[in-house]
């Protein structure tokens, strides 16, 4: 275990009942699909994995994967969890309700980057999950990753809050900075999702003890 760690995150959401974002098209023609078991090897190649074991493990939980395909090859992908999901960067589990969705671990094959596939994929996922009556769709990103933040905004997600996480040995702190313009009614839900049950909220800072999550 590292003596200390620090992460600077943003948390975004879409509430379909409040209106869906406009369609954001990719710059190339590609097919949007949900990845099935027949495409596990294809997805492993796109994710640059030496074996499909990680993908098979994920599919055994409440996880799905959506992708762009070009000529039968997966060129971009994004994972979706319905319900709680472990978030290693923040050393905690995000406590989503079973009917909520969390979008995570998105990627584009290197030779297909800079073509708007990331934003277009997120936008497609939003519309797909909205059609399935998902009440809230969440996504997180590092504040240091400006290209990812721009892609998330392009797709139609709205910023809910920023979170700065620090751990010094076993003592943990999570500072929250709320958005004042987007989805204010979702701020309590964001706290519920990101705060560990063992943490105590003092103002906008959650203080806790690291137990090896």
State pLDDT tens for residues 82-117: 999 999 999 999 999 999 999 999 999 999 999 999
pLDDT classification of 151: cutoffs 50, 70, 90: very high
Nearest to 10 by CA among 144, 201, 130: 144
Number of H helices, E strands in the chain: 5, 12
Give the domain CATH number at 10.
3.40.630.30
- Which uninterrupted H or E stretch holds 22? none
Predicted confidence (pLDDT) per residue in 171-185, tens digit: 999 999 998 777 888
Give dist(CA 58, CA 79) in Å, integer.
9
Note the pLDDT of residue 212: 76
Q: Which two structure tokens, joined as six digits, stand for 211?
A: 């137990």
Calculate mean pLDDT across residues 39-44.
Answer: 98
pLDDT of residue 3: 84
Contact between 95 and 120 under an 8 Å Cβ cutoff? The reply is no
- The arithmetic mean of pLDDT across residues 131-153, rounded, is 96
Q: How many domains does the chain have?
A: 1
Per the CB < 8 A criterion, the answer to whether 126 and 137 are in contact is yes
Full domain range(s) for residue 65: 4-209
Q: How far apart are CA 38 and CA 20, in angstroms?
A: 31
Arithmetic mean of pLDDT, 9-16: 96
pLDDT attached to residue 182: 76
Instruction: Compute CA 173 distance to the chain's CA centroid, rounded to the nearest angstrom.
Output: 21
Sign, Cα dihedral of 191, 142, 120, 49: negative
pLDDT confidence of residue 213: 63
Q: Which helix (H) or strand (E) holds 193?
A: helix 187-194
């Amino acid at each position: 275990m590292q003596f200390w760690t620090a992460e600077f995150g943003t948390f975004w959401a879409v509430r379909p009942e409040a209106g869906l974002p406009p369609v954001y098209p990719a710059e190339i023609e590609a097919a949007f699909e949900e990845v099935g078991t027949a495409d596990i090897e294809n997805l492993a190649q796109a994710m640059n994995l030496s074996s499909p074991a990680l993908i098979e493990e994920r599919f055994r939980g409440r996880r799905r994967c959506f992708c762009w395909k070009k000529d039968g090859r997966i060129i971009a992908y994004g994972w979706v969890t319905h319900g709680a999901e472990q978030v290693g960067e923040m050393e905690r589990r995000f406590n989503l309700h079973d009917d909520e969705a969390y979008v995570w671990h998105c990627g584009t094959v290197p030779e297909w980057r800079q073509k708007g596939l990331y934003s277009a994929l997120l936008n497609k996922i939003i519309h797909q999950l909205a059609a399935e009556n998902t009440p809230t769709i969440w996504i997180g990103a590092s504040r240091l990753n400006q290209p990812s933040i721009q892609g998330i905004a392009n797709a139609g997600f709205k910023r809910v809050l920023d979170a700065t996480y620090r751990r010094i040995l076993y003592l943990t702190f999570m500072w929250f900075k709320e958005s004042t313009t987007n989805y204010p009614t979702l701020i309590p839900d964001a706290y519920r999702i990101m705060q560990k049950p063992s943490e105590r909220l003092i103002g906008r800072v959650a203080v806790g003890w690291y137990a090896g999550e």
